[in-house]
Amino acid sequence: MAIGRVTLYEIVMTKSTLAGKFADRLRSSREERELSQSDLARLTGLQPSAIAHFEAERRKPSFDNIRVLAAALKVTTDYLLGSEGKSAMAFKDEHKLSKTDRDRIQDIINVMVKDKK
């Protein structure tokens, strides 16, 4: 979608807004999963150099690339783009549950973790 001569994508991914947060969250999510840039590239079908460019803010990922990166890292696209706090998908089809159901599951997990201590 074009807004005058500037695309919506350029507005969203300007260096002053979300690009830096995207690069940081991409790198930290990859490192938390103990993946190298090459490992992540293999999982996503991207080139290792593309991952390096995204993390160094030298290139902006396409929306398709953001989706495939989020899926490989098991986080949401909103998390990578910086519009929500730490949010990882815990299991397949989690996004189909209501917030209430997800909160109930989190409560169960919290009890289980507390019992382990």
The predicted-structure confidence for 59-93, as pLDDT tens digits, reads as follows: 989 999 999 999 999 888 888 988 766 555 566 66
> Is 39 in the same domain as 6?
yes
Q: Kindly report the CA angle at 12 between 31 and 77, in degrees rounded to 5?
A: 40
Are residues 40 and 68 located together in one domain of the fold?
Answer: yes
Q: What is the DSSP letter of 45?
A: T
The two tokens of residue 11 are 């507005």
- Could you tell me if 82 and 96 lie in one domain? no
Note whether 38 and 62 are same-domain residues: yes
The confidence score (pLDDT) of residue 43 equals 95
Q: Structurally, how many domains does the chain consist of?
A: 2
Asked whether residue 53 falls in the same domain as residue 29, the answer is yes
117 and 94, same structural domain? yes
Q: Report whether 76 contacts 51 (CB < 8 A).
A: no
Please give the residue range of the domain that contains residue 103. 90-117
In 3D space, the residue among 41, 29, 21 whose CA is nearest the CA of residue 87 turns out to be: 29
Q: Are residues 70 and 94 in the same domain?
A: no
Q: State pLDDT tens for residues 8-22.
A: 455 455 544 566 789
| pLDDT mean over 30-52 | 95
Q: What is the pLDDT of residue 2?
A: 46
Question: Residue 51 has what pLDDT?
Answer: 97
Q: Are residues 43 and 61 both part of a single domain?
A: yes
**Together in a domain, 35 and 77:** yes
pLDDT of residue 37: 97
